[in-house]
Amino acid sequence: MPSLRCLQKLRERNEKEVLDSEECHNVMRWFGEREFYLAQERCEGINEIKNACNNKEKGDPYRIFVLWNDATPNQEMSDSYFENG
């Protein structure tokens, strides 16, 4: 499942002592583009790691670091979305 692999990538980036903001940005952008499809549990995991990343020391203090909004599940998304599509 692609979202699990990306969540693992985000966890791995967070485990580093100094955060590479570009790597983090790429993973968060991937989730942002697919937010409609994310379940509540996945959003909670993303938000937990994202918040930890926001508080980490950044590898390049002169690089702009994007503070992402919390991921939220879309109320219109359910199993019926795929059945009726």
pLDDT value of residue 30: 86
Domain assignment of residue 48, yes or no: yes
Q: Where are the alpha helices (DSSP H) in the chain?
A: 2-15, 21-33, 40-54, 79-84
Instruction: Note whether residue 10 is domain-resident.
Output: yes
Number of domains in the chain: 1
pLDDT in tens, 29-75: 888 888 888 888 888 988 988 888 787 777 777 877 788 899 998 88
70 found inside a domain: yes
User: What was the pLDDT predicted at 85?
Assistant: 47
Domain-embedded: residue 35: yes
pLDDT confidence of residue 83: 55
pTM of the model: 0.68
pLDDT confidence of residue 70: 92
Q: What is the residue range of 42's domain?
A: 2-74
Rounded Cα–Cα distance for residues 36 and 76 (Å) = 9
